[in-house]
Amino acid sequence: MKFISEEESAALVSHEMAFHAAREALVAVVEDAVIFPAVLAHASSPANRFSIKSGSTRTLTGLKIGSFWPGNLNRGLPRHNSLILLFDESVGRIEWVIEAGKVNAFRTAAADAVAADALARKDASVLAIFGAGNQALYECMAIARVRPIKQVLVVARDRGRTNDFIASLHNEGLHAVQADAEDACMQADIVVTATPAREPLFSADWIRPGAHVASMGSDAAGKQELPPELFERAALFCDHPAQAVVMGDLQHFVGDRARIVALGNVLLGKADGRTSSDQITIFDSSGIALQDLAMARSLVAAKQAQVGS
């Protein structure tokens, strides 16, 4: 068994690596992959939660354990952690154990960047981000790689965290200001929600024609960031339809589920993406194990290249 520590994986990962791994994973969903039902669980204290996501392709088998310990914030420790296990399929033993807390942030943002690259208007330049947590920064940075983002509108409740977040965006070369939900939505070409919300964050009427909307925080039953009324006005895309309707924002969609398109089919040219400049597109990203497995393989390759150089 071989091991990559959190420090090593954080040093090896990049937005470019994550983008290519996310695209590979999203394509695999509609080609050769099997994705098993996610396990959502909690520790002795129900506030401390973890999930297990697993899957396999022709060349990869493994799982990711993601955890969320909210009390870690007061301990000066990350609230989110992640561990990826890759099998040696020839003998059924774990070949690689990879600590991937920071990697998980890159991986999650990369899926939304791949979706934005495929679905958002080419001239999209105003990004509205709901949430000012750790993940929100990675979302903004990843999307700014694929679209000419000139302004980030930050919608968040905690003024102190919002100011810190805006400063972090400025340090990354992104101009950002705080905005209220309605103003942000009405100005934005791209809207990303990165929150733990359990009710809609904005009104469907606030989303302008031609906008692209990505829900990232809805990854469990009961979570909700988008208003269901918006689904009726938009083209619907997701990472994995069978999972999205159970634990993604699309669990709240009561219309014809045949309208939900796996993004992998768009990437392969088997389904239409955006069909007009004024069409609203939605990407529901509930997160799939294939993203983690593709990231793990990329990290292993980078580590081996580093050792061999």
List, for residues 211-236, the tens digit of each pLDDT value: 999 999 998 899 999 999 999 999 99
pTM: 0.95
In the block, residue with structure tokens 């009710």: 199
CATH of the domain at 20: 3.30.1780.10
Q: Give the residue from 254, 221, 241, 255 showing the smallest Cα distance to 283.
A: 241
Residue 230 token pair: 């918006």
Taken in order 67, 71, 73, 76, the sign of the CA dihedral is negative
Residue 46 CB burial class (10 angstroms; 0-12, 13-18, ≥19): exposed
List the Cα angle 173/194/229 in 5-degree steps.
120
The reply to whether 162 and 193 lie within a common domain is yes
Q: What pLDDT is attached to residue 49?
A: 95
Instruction: Provide the pLDDT for residue 309.
Output: 55
Rounded Cα distance between 161 and 179, Å, is: 14
Same domain for 185 and 146: yes
Domain that holds residue 25: 2-103+290-308
Ranges of the chain whose pLDDT falls below 50: none
For residues 281 and 120, the answer to whether their CB atoms sit within 8 Å is yes
β-bridge mates for residue 34, sequence order: 56
| One domain, residues 123 and 269 | yes
Q: State how many domains the chain has.
A: 2
For residue 4, the model assigns a pLDDT of 98
Q: How many CB atoms lie within 10 A of CB 69?
A: 18
Q: What is the pLDDT of residue 240?
A: 96
Please indicate, yes or no, whether residues 153 and 271 belong to a single structural domain of this protein.
yes
